[in-house]
Amino acid sequence: MSFTVTLTTVAIMLLYAVPGYLLMKSKLLGPDAIGPTVTILLYLSSPFQTVYTMQQITYSPQTLRELGLMAAMTLGLMGLMLSTVYFALRKKQTIVSYRICTAAAACGNVGFIGIPLLQALLPDYPQAVAFSSVFSVTMNILMWTVVSFIITRDKKYMSTRKIFINPMSISMAVSLALFFGGVHFTGQLESMITLLGRMATPLCMLILGMRLALVPIKPIFTRPMQYLAVALKMVVFPLVALGICRLLGLDRNYTSCVYILCCVPVASVVLSFAEMLGQGQDTAANVMLLSTMLSVITIPVMLLII
């Protein structure tokens, strides 16, 4: 894939973080501003992003099979990566930073960063953005179950109920109902959904810039464990996914879609869960920030393979 297009797309996304960083450093915003901004992202823009992406496809048996395959593949790929890293580091799982590393190895920012990448790199394959939402749903399933257990080592934090009762799952349920019903919004309503959905990436990066302004810079770059997490997520994971896709003989565009989504940096939801569960917040923040900053190098290089 075009190195220049990939580099430009990733660099522009990272530039969205600069205003957030400057606003926080200049004291025009305080630390308390992050919470409400995250709420807008998670409860408004992110659900509309799901509806927007699913509006790009029309029901057909073939599309339904592709959606089902994407759900099975991404669930399997993440499950494989999580279990492999967990058992490889099993003697270190008493240390919270290693548990965060395990979670980060499979959970990527497939929506907020993945969707703009897919739109730039696969413009003639619009269904790819719908597949990204399916990827987000399967990741959501694992976050509330397996990942919650890995981070806390306590099964009481696993919640099958919250798999279904959260903004991502609810918006996907609505989107699937529209998909099966053949409902496509037009006119001003379509414009509103598109605008609110496309706000997700700038908001995500603004929040990242705000968080970057609040943490010490040195620990982001000086802890080897964090580089291990980034390497697993942004090099090993996509290569495993690419190998499996080629073994299965999947369509080139479909394979490219899966591979691109696996190349994205560590998901902000890893930090959100670490904060919610009260363990490993510093490591999660550092890994997320480090992977996002390094993505301007890793993603263009990794996409030279396909």
Contact 41, 210 (CB under 8 A): no
Architecture category of domain 3-302 in CATH: Up-down Bundle (1.20)
Considering only residues 215 and 242, tell me which one the structure prediction assigns the higher pLDDT: 242
What's the pLDDT score for residue 206?
A: 94
Contact 51, 197 (CB under 8 A): yes
Contact 234, 295 (CB under 8 A): yes
Task: Indicate the pLDDT class of residue 272, thresholds 50, 70 and 90.
Answer: confident
Backbone phi and psi for residue 266, each to the nearest 5 degrees, phi listed first: -60, 140
Q: How far apart are CA 251 and CA 246, in angstroms?
A: 9
Answering whether pTM is above 0.85, one says: yes
Task: Indicate the pLDDT class of residue 276, thresholds 50, 70 and 90.
Answer: confident
Which two tokens mark 66?
């592709």
pLDDT in tens, 170-201: 999 999 999 999 999 999 999 999 999 999 99
Contact 105, 284 (CB under 8 A): no
Q: What is the separation, in whole angstroms, between the first and last Cα of the chain? A: 6
Question: Domain extents for the chain?
Answer: 3-302
What's the pLDDT score for residue 110?
A: 95
What's the pLDDT score for residue 174?
A: 96
What's the pLDDT score for residue 262?
A: 97
Considering only residues 157 and 17, tell me which one the structure prediction assigns the higher pLDDT: 17
Is residue 2's pLDDT more than 80?
A: no
Is residue 277's pLDDT more than 90?
A: no
Is residue 300's pLDDT more than 80?
A: yes
Helix residue ranges per DSSP H, the chain = 3-15, 17-25, 34-40, 46-54, 61-88, 96-104, 114-121, 128-142, 148-152, 160-164, 167-181, 187-198, 200-214, 218-222, 224-231, 237-247, 252-263, 268-277, 281-302
Which two tokens mark 27?
């004291």
Is residue 214's pLDDT more than 80?
A: yes
